[in-house]
Amino acid sequence: MYLTTISSSLSNKPENMAKYQNTKQLHTRIIFLIAYTFFLLVPIQKITADSTDIYNLQPIIINSDFQNLKIDSFIKIWQTEKKLKPEDLLELVNKNDIDAAPHVTSQGFSFNYFWIVFLLKNESNKTKNIYIEIDNPHIDTIVFYSYNPINNHCEQIGYGGDMIPFYQRTILNRRFIFPIKLEKNEEKHFLLLIDKQKTSVSFPLRLWDQFTFNKNEGISNLLLHLYFGSLLLVALLTIIAGLLFRNWMLITYAIYASLMGLFIFTSLGFSFQFIYPNYYPISDKIMFPFAVILIIAFTEFSNSFIGTKQYSKKIYRILHYIYAISILNLGVWAIFHDYMLNFPGLLVSIQYTIILFFFGIIIYSLIRFYRFNKHKTISYTLAISALIIGFIFHLLIEYGYIEQSNLAVPPIMLGAGIELLIFAIAILIEIKKINDKKNELSLIVGENQRKITKAFIEGSEQEGTRISQELHDNIGSRLALLKNKITQSDTNKLELHEDLNNIYNDVKKLSHELSPSILQIAGFRSTIEQFLLDFTDISGIRTNLSYHKVPKLKENIELQLFRVIQESVQNCLRHSNANKLDIQIIGHENELIMSIDDDGNGFDISVPFTINGNGINNMKTRIESINGNFELSSTPNTGTFLLISIPI
């Protein structure tokens, strides 16, 4: 307005000169003009001075080789409690009715709306295509305007946020990206509105040349693919192995690794992009319950890995209380969700406290159990250190103490990746150790088995040798003598008869297998005792014999019972891994009861046993041949119990 008045009066001046011949009038005019200009210029100065004072904005210079720039030091931030129209905000700023916010991030939680302003200037000689990146995937609403500082007229360039479906974003990316086009030598003002209520706020801002951004995105995505791909692969392999080998440690590791991967996936914003792009109300509510479930999974895995159950039942139980408290916390969150909106920090802080408590207990357990398994505790300590360090950095960023863009990789990702790797290696080593031990034990068992077989074979060969010797030396020579006597003329029939009788008796004895004779001579009890002593010597299995009120039994009964004892004792050694064997033989009024009892593995009786097969049928036949009753009971892990009753 002023300018037009001055230009008109200036242009009018020569014409008016002719009209007004009074020089006095001219002079007055000139003075008037000077005064006018002075008053005009001052307000103009004031405007421009005011603009730079309020904003104090340093323009961000884009030249021809611009690639990317962190612009945190070039921006100005304001906070408002209400959501204003952008024009209204700019007016408030102009009137200096609002103070600038000091930081790019808000420490702790905020209920305010954030307004960010910056100025771009293209000093290259071509059109520049720029992206502005807000590297925080969890923002409710974000609106990007460019505006004219003179009239505060705003033009919306971009719109995004968790509260709208993913595919409505201006640029499809898990972070918030908006395009800026600057003609050569163009200068533009921009305004960003960020609505991220009720959670901690941090929004690192970065400008990218479009091509640089795309290239970087490509590389970054490749690395992320590798990261998540490996995680998925490891989790898959571990769960299959865990199910195959029925190993709880592997299963809990797989669950934990998957959950951790998913957690990171979500916190980076990929879950919103790929898993639930339309269900925007979820994104707000998902992180907290997720974190709780993750903690529970990790506690269970730690329990399993460290093996607290076998070292301290108390600590094992305390760790289970963590589940309870976490689930309680989750319950409170779920039920009183709307009420808790006013105290967003409370439940999260409780959960963080639970986590710290958990780590405290774990550290205590590690110190206590160090001497039991050094390698395990060291690897666990290294692993969770990586995670804890990552987590601490994450907390520091969350609460605004560190600028996120200072770090190249999200710290939780790095920490979790290292941690899972260390655990994977430790688990593999553990499994190798278990495998080696198994091999060792089976070698020992095989060795013992061989010894027994060898002894048995030697024994029976000795027996065979003796029988054949006996036949040859004793019976054979006597028969020879007898033959001699018969051919002689003065044979005594009676003597011959006696000789034959004797030979017959000895052959009978021999045919009884020498053992029964030994049973008869040494006695039933002594033979069993000696047999058990020899058995313990070879096998290391303790044996106890309870022998009460047993009458003198028929030869055959004693033999069959002894054979059954031999067979079941051998079975016990071969299959059951027992430590103790109890044999009882107790005589009652009308019956004899024998029981053989071991504390080994037992077996499933319903399964037709091919290993013991013949042996057990053998025993059954023997007992039945002496009119006895044969009962075999066994349940896995309670040992085997053989009960025989014979009528006498």
Partner 1 sequence: MSTKKLIKVIIVEDQKLFANGLKEILNKFEGVEVAKIIENGNLVSKELDTLKADVIFLDLNLIGKNGLEVLQEIREQHSDLLIIILTMYQEKVLVEKAKKLGANAYLTKDATVEELKKALFLKDTDHYFTSKAITNTKQIDSKNNFDDNKILITDREKEVLKCLAKGKTKSELAEILKTSTNTVNIHLKNIQRKLNIYNPQELISYVLNNNII
For binding to partner 1 (CB under 8 A), which residues are involved?
Answer: 462, 466, 470, 474, 477-478, 481, 502, 506, 509, 514, 517-518, 520-523, 526-527, 529-534, 536-537, 540, 542-549, 582, 584, 586-588, 593, 595, 597, 599, 631, 633, 635, 638, 641, 643, 645
Spell out a b/e string for 96-115, using b for 16 or more CB atoms within 10 Å of the CB, else e.
Answer: eebeebeebbbeebbebbbb
Which lies closer to partner 1 via its Cβ, residue 323 or residue 641? 641
Distance (Å, whole) CA 615 – CA 640: 14
* Nearer to partner 1 among residue 264 and residue 585 (C-beta): 585
Q: How far is the CB of 551 from partner 1 (least distance, A)?
A: 13
State the Cα–Cα distance between residues 615 and 564, nearest whole angstrom. Answer: 9
CB of residue 417 to partner 1, shortest distance in Å:
50
Query: Based on CB atoms, which residue is closest to partner 1, 165 or 523?
Result: 523
User: Least distance (Å) from partner 1 to the CB of residue 532?
Assistant: 6
Nearer to partner 1, 303 or 539 (CB): 539
The nearest distance, CB 527 to partner 1, in angstroms, is: 5
Give the shortest CB-310-to-partner 1 separation in angstroms: 23
Crossing angle of the two packed helices 248-267 and 210-245, in degrees rounded to 10: 160
Q: Helix 280-306 crosses helix 411-469 at what angle (to 10 degrees)?
A: 40
Contact between 140 and 161 (Cβ < 8 Å): yes
The minimum distance between CB 528 and partner 1, in angstroms, equals: 9
Instruction: State in angstroms the smallest separation of the CB of 452 from partner 1.
Output: 16
Of the pair 382, 518, the CB lying nearest partner 1 is at: 518
Single out the residue of 155, 416, 397 nearest to residue 261, CA to CA: 416
Give whichever of 348 and 581 is closer to partner 1, judged by the CB atom. 581
Give the nearer residue to partner 1 in terms of CB position, either 205 or 583.
Answer: 583
Helices 555-575 and 514-522 cross at an angle (nearest 10°) of 100
In terms of CB distance, is 139 or 585 closer to partner 1? Answer: 585
Count the residues in the chain.
Answer: 648
Cα–Cα dist 199/287, whole Å: 11
Closest CB 609 distance from partner 1, rounded Å? 20
* Interior/surface letters 239-272, b for 16+ CB within 10 angstroms, e for the rest: bebbeeeebebbbbbbbbbbbbbbbbbbbbbbbb
Tokens 């003009």 locate to 33
Tracing tokens 């022998």 back to the chain, one arrives at 547
Query: Given the DSSP bridges, would you call strands 205-209 and 68-70 parallel, antiparallel or unpaired?
Result: antiparallel
Residue type, 417: G
Rounded-to-integer distance, Cα 6 and Cα 27, Å = 16
Q: Report the nearest approach of partner 1 to the CB of residue 511 (Å).
A: 14
- Of 309 and 588, which has the nearer Cβ to partner 1? 588
